[in-house]
Structure 1
C-alpha cells in the first residue's frame, strides 16, 4: 500500500509540531522518520495512525482520504516504544485483542482467531510463550508480542514508534534485523520513527530527516551521507566535524586551523565545512598533535588536536609513531561545504576537480 502526506500541519498552542509536511511512501517500502526530540516525527506517525488530528493538509492511504476515518478503521498496525501490552492478559490474549474487539459483523470466529494468533506467534518465533504474562518474558520477547498484536489485524501499513529503545544494545541489533526481514517476507509498507541514525540507516530504504516540524531531506541513506541537503543534515547524519572556513576564488581556507586548502565551486565568502573522519588523515608531521587512538570500522582512528579543534581522523600509516602526544600533520581527502547563500558542494584536494555546486 502507498501513503501520501500533503502539506500537513499540526499546532499545539504556539508550538508547530508539523509545519507543512509532505511525504510519499511507495508500496512495500521501508521508510524511517529520523530526527532529534521535538522534530515532529512521532506527531507525524500519530497522524498517520489516526491518533492525532491535523490543522491543515491531507493523508491518503492506498488513494483513500483518511481525514474522517477513525484509527480503528484505517487498517494500520502500530508498535510503540513501551509496547503497551495488557499486563493482566496472557501473550495469547494480547495478540488476539485487536480481533476480539472488532464489531460482530467483522469479528472472526473463535477458532479462526485462535489459529491466527498461533500462526503469528510462530511467525515471530515465540509460540511457546502463549500462556505467559508480559511480566514473565524478556524485553525482546515483549517486543515480538507487540509486533504480533499489530500484525493480527492484517494491517496495510505498519508503524513503529521507536520500538527498540527499551532493549539493550545487543538485543536491539538482532531484533531490528529480524524486523527488517519480516517486513520483506510479509511485503509490508513500514514506517519507523527513530532518533537513532544507525537504526535508520541500517533498516530503511529511504530516510526522511526532520527538523523543527519539517522534512528537510528524504533520500536513501547513501545520499544523505554523500550529498546532505542542509547543514543540519550534514551534521546530524553520520559523524562529521563542523568547521568554519572561507571560500576565496574557488579555494576553501581553514585558517587558523592547520588544515590544507581544498578546491570547491562555491561563491566567495564565509562558509561551513563538514569533515567526516574517513576524509581526514593523520600521518607523521609537526602541525597537529595526536591525543588518542580508538578502533574504527576497519581502520585505526585518532583524536587529533589541531589548533583549538579536536578532530576525528584516520591514522596512516599505522605504526609505533602513532602514540598519544605524537606530532602529526593532517591531509584532507575532501569535505562537504555550505556557502553563506545556502548552496553546497563537495570540496576536493587542489589537484582534483571540484563537483558542481547546487
Structure 2
C-alpha cells in the first residue's frame, strides 16, 4: 500500500504551522521512519494519515485513493500509540479482539474466527501465554507486543507507529526494534514509524524522512542522509559532528586560527560552516592539541581533544595505541561537509 502526501498543511492557532507543505511518497511495502526534533510535526503527520486529525490544506492518497473525508475506522490502518492505549479493564485477548468486535454486524467475523485470529496474532507477536492477563499484569515490552497485535487484528496494509518504544529501557528497545523489522518483512505491510532515536531509525528503516519545523528537510536512505545531507540542518542533526566555522576561498575551507590544514569545499567563497564526523578527524601523536578524555563505543575509541579554546571529538590514527589524558596530539581532517554560513541557521 503506497502513501502519497502532497502540499499537506496543518495549523493550530495563529503560530507557525505544525505541518507546512509536506511532500512525501512512500512505496508499498516500505518501512519508513519519521525523524526530527520535538515539535517538527512527526506525530501530527501520523495522526493526519490515520484520520485522527484533519489537514487545513493538501492531499493524502493511500493506494492512489484520496482519503479526505474517509473516517479513521474506514481507512483500514493499524495505529500503535506511544502509550499503547490498551484497555485496562480488558484481558489481553479482549484487547486484541476489540477492533474486530466493534465492526458493523455485516462485516464482523464470527466468534470462532475472532478467537482463532486473536490466538494466531498472539503467537505471531510471541506472547500466546498472556491472553488471560490484564495490561497491568504484564511488562512494558509485552504491552508493546499486545498493542501491535491489536493493530494487526484488522489486517491493515498500512501500519503507523508513534514512538512505540519510548517508555522501554535500552536493551528491550533494541530487541523489539529488530523483532518489529522482522515482523514487517514477514507480513509485507507498509510501515511508518515515528521515533526520536536516530540509531533506531538507522537500524530499521528503508528510508528516513527528516522533519524540521513542519517540513521534510530530506527523505532518503540512511547511508545517503549520513554521507550526503541536503543541508546544514540535516548534517548537524544526524549523527555526531564537530562544527567548525571556516572561510572558503578558491575551493578550499580554511580554519584559521585553528591549526588545521584546508580541505576541499564545493561552495562559494565566503564564510562557511564545516561538519566533521569524529571518524574523519584523525588524531596523531605530538602536536598542538591535548587529549582531555577518551571513551570507547564498543567499536571505536573516541578522543576529546582540546585545540586552542575548542574541544573536538576525534579518532586516533591507526597504530597509535592507548592515547592517554594530557597526551599531545595533532589533528588532520580526512573529510568534511561544508555549507555556506547563511545556510547553516
TM-score, normalising length from structure 1? Answer: 0.94
Which residue in 1 is equivalent to 2:24? 23
Which residue in 1 is equivalent to 2:320? 318
RMSD, aligned α-carbons: 1.1
Rounded to whole Å, the distance in 1 between the matches of 2:287 and 2:169 is: 43
Which residue in 1 is equivalent to 2:6? 6
- Please report how far the alpha carbon of residue 297 of structure 1 lies from its aligned counterpart in structure 2 after TM superposition: 5.0
- Structure 1 contact 76–157 (Cα < 8 Å) conserved: yes
Write out per-residue CA displacement over residues 97-154 of structure 1, whole angstroms, 9 at most, x where no aligned residue: 0000011111111111000000000000000000000000010000000000000000
Aligned length: 342
Aligned pairs for 1:42-61 (under 5 A) are 42-61=43-62
Rounded to whole Å, the distance in 2 between the matches of 1:58 and 1:82 is: 28
Aligned pairs for 1:74-85 (under 5 A) are 74-85=75-86
Write out per-residue CA displacement over residues 5-33 of structure 1, whole angstroms, 9 at most, x where no aligned residue: 01000000023100000100000000011
Aligned pairs for 1:274-285 (under 5 A) are 274-285=275-286
Which residue in 1 is equivalent to 2:42? 41
What residue ranges of structure 1 are gaps of 5+ in the alignment? 344-358
Which residue in 1 is equivalent to 2:186? 185
- Please report how far the alpha carbon of residue 318 of structure 1 lies from its aligned counterpart in structure 2 after TM superposition: 3.0
- Structure 2 contact 285–320 (Cα < 8 Å) conserved: no
Rounded to whole Å, the distance in 2 between the matches of 1:205 and 1:130 is: 33
Rounded to whole Å, the distance in 2 between the matches of 1:62 and 1:250 is: 46
- Structure 1 contact 29–188 (Cα < 8 Å) conserved: yes
Which residue in 1 is equivalent to 2:157? 156
Q: SS where residue 114 of structure 1 aligns?
A: helix
Rounded to whole Å, the distance in 2 between the matches of 1:220 and 1:249 is: 32
Rounded to whole Å, the distance in 1 between the matches of 2:7 and 2:298 is: 40
Q: SS where residue 155 of structure 2 aligns?
A: coil
Write out per-residue CA displacement over residues 309-338 of structure 1, whole angstroms, 9 at most, x where no aligned residue: 211110123325x11011110011010000
Q: Does 1:104 align with 2:105?
A: yes
Write out per-residue CA displacement over residues 155-208 of structure 1, whole angstroms, 9 at most, x where no aligned residue: 120000000001100000000000000000000100000111111111100000
Rounded to whole Å, the distance in 2 between the matches of 1:21 and 1:342 is: 20
Aligned pairs for 1:263-282 (under 5 A) are 263-282=264-283
Q: SS where residue 12 of structure 1 aligns?
A: coil
Write out per-residue CA displacement over residues 73-92 of structure 1, whole angstroms, 9 at most, x where no aligned residue: 00000011110000110000
- Structure 1 contact 32–200 (Cα < 8 Å) conserved: yes
Q: SS where residue 144 of structure 2 aligns?
A: helix
Write out per-residue CA displacement over residues 214-256 of structure 1, whole angstroms, 9 at most, x where no aligned residue: 0010000000000000111000111111111100111111111
Q: SS where residue 239 of structure 1 aligns?
A: coil
Rounded to whole Å, the distance in 2 between the matches of 1:297 and 1:333 is: 22
Bigger drift between 134-143 and 240-249 goes to 240-249
Q: SS where residue 120 of structure 2 aligns?
A: helix
- Please report how far the alpha carbon of residue 308 of structure 1 lies from its aligned counterpart in structure 2 after TM superposition: 1.8
Which residue in 2 is equivalent to 1:352? none
Q: SS where residue 9 of structure 1 aligns?
A: strand
Q: SS where residue 229 of structure 1 aligns?
A: coil
- Structure 1 contact 300–318 (Cα < 8 Å) conserved: no
- Cα 1:168–1:336 change in 2 (3 A) is same
Rounded to whole Å, the distance in 2 between the matches of 1:230 and 1:295 is: 29
- Please report how far the alpha carbon of residue 296 of structure 1 lies from its aligned counterpart in structure 2 after TM superposition: 3.4
